[in-house]
Structure formats: C-alpha cells, structure tokens
Structure 1
C-alpha cells in the first residue's frame, strides 16, 4: 500500500469517526422538527433499497437482468411478498433464501 493510500484511508476514518462521535455526543441536545423526525424514519428503507436493488437487478454487475432466469430478482420479489404478507423477519429471510436456492437449482 502506498503512503498516499494510507493517508487517504486514515483521513476518511477520522472524518467518519468525527461525524459519528459529534452526533452521539451532542445528539441528545439536538431537537428536530416533527417533519424531519418523520422523514428520518424512511432513511433505513432508502439505504437498504439502494444496497439491495443493484444486487437484484445487476447480478453480474454488467447488464440489467429482469428475466425469470435471474434467481436474485425472483428471491427478492418473494422476500417483498413475504415481508408484506407476514411482517416477520425470520419468515421473510428463510422463505426468500429457500426460493432463491430452489430457483437456482431448478435453472441448473
């Protein structure tokens, strides 16, 4: 690793730590408006979607794949349906994983 990379990684770590420490140390004194508090409830869903959607739609990281031969997409759709129907994390994870692996096995 070059010295430039070490400095860059160290700077990023320090900036990340400073932001998180500042928010945790002074966070109890900061009051958000009800509108901001309500908007912040959607942040985890938005972040998770931003992480999962590309993995489902671009399984080879090259080209969009929205066909039935994409086991990631089929498993993701099953996970959405299970989560909406039962609202149980364990049912969603186990059901979607079973569907994903069964679909991959069935496609060969």
Structure 2
C-alpha cells in the first residue's frame, strides 16, 4: 500500500509540473535577449555530453590515433559538415565507431 501511494505521489508531482509548463507554453513571451541566450543551450549541453565521452572514454585524456571514440567523432563531424543531416551523421558515426572498435579491434 505504501508503494502505491508513493507511486501516485510521484505521478502527481511529475504530471503537475509538466502540465503547468505545457499549459502556459504558448502564452508566455520571452524577451529577445533571453530567447537568443536559450538558443545556445542545446549546443552547450551536447558539447558537455560528447566532449568527455570522446576525449576521456576511460577516465583519462586519450588523444592518440588509437582512440576509436575520437576517430569516430571526427568522422561524424566531417559527415555533419558535408551532409547537414542529423540522422546521417549519427548512423555514419556509429558505423565508423563499430568498424574501428569491433572490426579493427581498437
């Protein structure tokens, strides 16, 4: 019984927070400076996630030519500049990583 109440309470808190945000989504206008600043959030978050994963895959800085994460990340960056397509970039980067990691044993 306590677990059911706990789950119900978590549901109510989560739902209420999201409902309020979706309820006012079209009615609130941000100033232009805030809208401009918020446009930098996705690239900053992605950089904060990707850079440590590519440069520190084993917990220490690994900037050598036998780092498959670094090589696949570089290849994915080249594909993204060339194709300008997110799905193509992800698939090409993953295929490159799998080939380096499992095909060549890096």
Query: Is the structural similarity TM-score above 0.5?
Result: yes
* Alpha-carbon RMSD: 2.4
For structure 2, the 5+ residue unaligned runs are 1-5
Question: Taking structure 1 as the reference length, what is the TM-score of the superposition?
Answer: 0.72
Q: Quick one: distance in 2 between partners of 1:52 and 1:86? A: 20
TM-score of the two chains, using structure 2 as the length reference: 0.73
Q: Answer yes or no: is the 8 Å Cα contact 1:75–1:99 preserved in 2.
A: yes
Higher helix share: 1
The aligned counterpart of 1:4 is none
Q: How does 1:1-108 map to 2 (within 5 A)?
A: 14=13, 19-60=17-58, 62-104=59-101, 105-108=103-106
Q: What is the CA–CA distance in structure 2 between the aligned matches of 1:17 and 1:79, rounded to whole Å? A: 37
* Matching residue of 1:3: none
* Count of paired positions: 98
Matched-pair contact (CA < 8 Å) for 1:56–1:76: yes
Moved over 6 A (4+): none
Instruction: Give, in angstroms, the shift of residue 59 of structure 1.
Output: 0.7
